[in-house]
Amino acid sequence: MAATTTWRIATTPLTITQEQLDFFHRLGPQLLSFYRALNRLYLDSVRGLQPAWVAGYLDQGKPEGLIAYSRMKRFRDHIPAVIRPDVIPTQDGMVITELDSVPGGIGMTACLSSLYADAQTDGLSLVGGPDGMVQGFAAMLTAQVAPHTGCIAILLSEEAKDYRPEMTWLTARLRAIGVDAYCVEPRQVRFTEEGLRIIHEGIDQPIALIYRFYELFDLLNIPKSELVQYAVKKDRVAVTPPYKPALEEKLAFALLHHPALRPFWEQALGQEVFLHLTTIMPRTWILDPAPIPPSATIPGLAMGGRAVMNWRDLATATQKERHFVIKPSGFSELAWGSRGVSVGHDMPQHEWTAAIDKALAAFPKTPYILQEFHKGRLYDLEYFDPISGDMNRMSGRARLSPYYFVSGETIELAGILATVCSSDKKVIHGMKDAVMVPCGTMTNSER
């Protein structure tokens, strides 16, 4: 696979404990329940069965046409079939910073898994095994195809072009195991009255399923996007993830923690799952500039032991008091890849104040959230320097990204990608100085 980005190469997979692996296996069904509950909460809000402000927040800044499309009856129960949380291991346990239903890294994690499996350390077992990512992705896709006939098109936008090599590699692996899939650009899709067809390297055949590898905020920049939506609307082709921007908002964490919605979540998730998710999903608030009555405070938010009544009160917080992150909720080019993220305790007062003002001003178009910051625990690992040819050691903080694939009523953990950045970095994401490596556990005999 020819990568368009670079990273540091670890000598071995990142080792996680059996207890941590058990956590990730339990997490998958819980997140599937969360997405189903969030979908129901949104629809109930639209129908007046839950507070109207819920749908109002989730629809904020979206085009009316896309909102109407997402609410179509035939899409009512559709939820993402790929779920990837970003999980930070801390000294106190695991913390989920956000969820991604259109994640990159599927092909890269699959490729790395096969490479590290070939040079595997004795006693270390890769999560998902060498082919777990390919097999899991294949099972998810084939479960989404019926009742349509034809091939599977991974439709990749220009904005996501950096992921093209890994998805091209992945589709080649899929074809090798009998799944007729291709990675294509919008210009390689042809519209007919019978449906969509793929025109690619001498191939001309109908498309049964489109795997949407593009963000919904970018629809206006994607050629033939309206024709794709029309074909999906007329049920001439299936698509996953669904066109549901309400399910791709980071502010869903704020809804989970909102005290007025607790009865809904407890009923929809069950008390045990609700309490677990509110423990591992950090407290989050929507930066809504609407005035708060003098008799009210922002639920659960305090600075220096003082209840907060106005978002701009945050500007006076000391550096020690502002262990918070501000980031766009979604539907924006700034809402992925750690763009638009402001870490409160890592910036001077005037920049923190400017970040608050910017977030509040952006609310009509792009709502922002305020989220508790949780510091990751340190890992020590070796990596190879291709320039010097030396082995180096790094102390860094990790982001663990498990990939879950939904097939019918089941959800499968197919692999976990670790991204480890040096300890001086506050935001962990893929970069040239990061180590990116799959995770594994020691077998019973080696523990």
Read off the pLDDT of each residue in 168-195 and give the average, rounded to a whole number.
Answer: 95
Cα 319 to Cα 90, 322, 346, 387: the distances in Å are: 21, 5, 8, 39
Q: What is the pLDDT of residues 78-112, one digit of tens each?
A: 999 999 999 999 999 999 999 999 999 999 999 99
State the pLDDT at residue 431.
66
Q: Which of 58, 93, 15 is nearest to 281 (CA)?
A: 93
Q: Which of 162, 161, 205, 158 is nearest to 182 (CA)?
A: 205
Q: What is the pLDDT of residues 214-237, one digit of tens each?
A: 999 999 999 999 999 999 999 999
| Spatial distance between the Cα atoms of 90 and 434, rounded to a whole number of angstroms | 18
State the pLDDT at residue 3.
53
By the 8 A CB rule, do 99 and 83 touch? yes
**Does residue 180 have a pLDDT over 50?**
yes
**Does residue 306 have a pLDDT over 90?**
no
| Angle, vertex CA 337, rays to CA 332 and CA 340, nearest 5 | 55
Tokens 């879950």 locate to 404
Radius of gyration from C-alpha coordinates of the chain:
22
Which of residues 100 and 426 earns the better pLDDT score? 100
Look up residue 402 and give its two tokens: 């498990």
State the pLDDT at residue 447.
43
Q: What is the pLDDT of residues 310-353, one digit of tens each?
A: 999 899 999 889 999 999 999 888 766 667 899 988 899 999 99
State the pLDDT at residue 117.
86
Among 30-39, 176-185, 247-256, 379-388, which is the least confidently predicted range? 379-388
Q: Which of 98, 127, 89 is nearest to 398 (CA)?
A: 89
Give percent of the chain with pLDDT exceeding 70.
95
Sign for the pseudo-dihedral over CA of 305, 311, 317, 322:
positive
Confidence of residue 121 (pLDDT cuts 50, 70, 90): low
Q: Provide the β-strand partners of residue 370.
A: 285, 326
| Spatial distance between the Cα atoms of 36 and 169, rounded to a whole number of angstroms | 32
pTM: 0.94
Q: What is the pLDDT of residues 243-298, one digit of tens each?
A: 999 999 999 999 999 999 999 999 999 999 999 999 999 999 999 999 989 889 99
